[in-house]
Amino acid sequence: MADTRFIGVLDSGVGGLHVLDHLHRVLPGESTVYLADTARLPYGNKSHRTVVTYARQAAFFLLKQQPLKLLVLACNTASAAALSHLQQELPIPVIGTVTATAQAACAQHPKHIAVLATAKTVQWQAYPKILLEEGFSGSVYQQPCPLFVSLVEEGWTDHPVTQAVAKHYLSFVPRETDLMILGCTHYPQLQPLLARLAPHVAVWIDSGEVVAQQVRQQLMHSNDLASGNQGQREYLVTDSPRRFTELAKQFLSRDIVSGQVKRADLA
Ligand code: DGL
């Protein structure tokens, strides 16, 4: 029997739409409900406790909106802080970007990994911890890139200012790096620029495709796949739907239809 329940996707803002876009491509028949906590972003510089609180509130709110079959934490910072909490507390499977991305990185058998991420994802050692758990024994260098989110949201993905900032951040990354993890929702937008500036890096991993494939495998395994060709698409935002819809164009291959985005009050 086909399972018509929704896949919930959580992010602090628009960046998680990159993951959602891949989900739509890989699983077009699945219905999705995306919650962007735009009123409280960014998560990437908040305390661990605050991010866990926000992620829990958002997750339980989503559970009440639609019957969910699975939840995706599309935000790396939320995934770094709250994945284990939500996996314990929610009655459905929860997939987080950090674990999925770290596993995909290990599968490439690199020797020297570098992680670009928000200040907090770096501070909490989220990627090094999971890479170690996955058996990775090479070196892991982490570089916080706090300015990237604003530059991407400005649409400056190849602007001279962004080039200068990217050169600065990459100047700290060890030369021997052979695999780079783009450990934040917004950074895949900068991959062409970053790859140009760091041509010696052989493999670039971003969460979008990786998470979408993991969701597909999970739903196949639990026999919970939907059967139709085109699922429903719902978007909930905690701040202005207009700003979200405008920014979303950068992250989604199909524009959001007006009326699909609704304001949500988590409190
Ligand atoms: N979504 C966040 C992440 O992937 C980036 C934006 C923010 O700091 O809220 O870490």
Q: What is the DSSP string of 159-216?
A: -HHHHHHHHHHHTTS-TT--EEEEESTTGGGGHHHHHHH-TT--EEEEHHHHHHHHHH
d(CA 228, ligand 1 centre) in Å:
32
d(CA 120, ligand 1 centre) in Å:
9
Please list the active-site residues. 75, 184
Give dist(CA 217, CA 95) in Å, integer.
11
For ligand 1, whether the C-beta of 79 sits within 6 Å is no
Please tell me the predicted confidence (pLDDT) of residue 1.
67
Q: What are phi and psi of 42, to 5 degrees?
A: -80, 150
Of 83, 122, 152, 186, the one to substitute when testing ligand 1's pocket (max ligand atoms within 8 A of C-beta) is 186
Taking the model in full, what pTM does it have? 0.96
Give dist(CA 255, CA 179) in Å, integer.
32
Helices (H), the chain: 17-26, 48-65, 76-89, 97-106, 119-123, 126-133, 148-153, 160-170, 191-197, 207-221, 241-248
Of 37, 46, 77, the one to substitute when testing ligand 1's pocket (max ligand atoms within 8 A of C-beta) is 77
Low-confidence ranges of the chain (pLDDT < 70): 1
- CA-nearest of 10, 129, 137, 20 to 61 is 10
Please tell me the predicted confidence (pLDDT) of residue 258.
72
Please tell me the predicted confidence (pLDDT) of residue 257.
82
d(CA 184, ligand 1 centre) in Å:
6
Please tell me the predicted confidence (pLDDT) of residue 259.
82
For ligand 1, whether the C-beta of 153 sits within 6 Å is no
- CA distances 228 to 83, 187, 224, 263, Å, are 30, 32, 13, 28
- CA distances 235 to 62, 83, 124, 189, 231, Å, are 11, 22, 30, 21, 13
Give residue 13's identity as a one-letter amino acid code: G
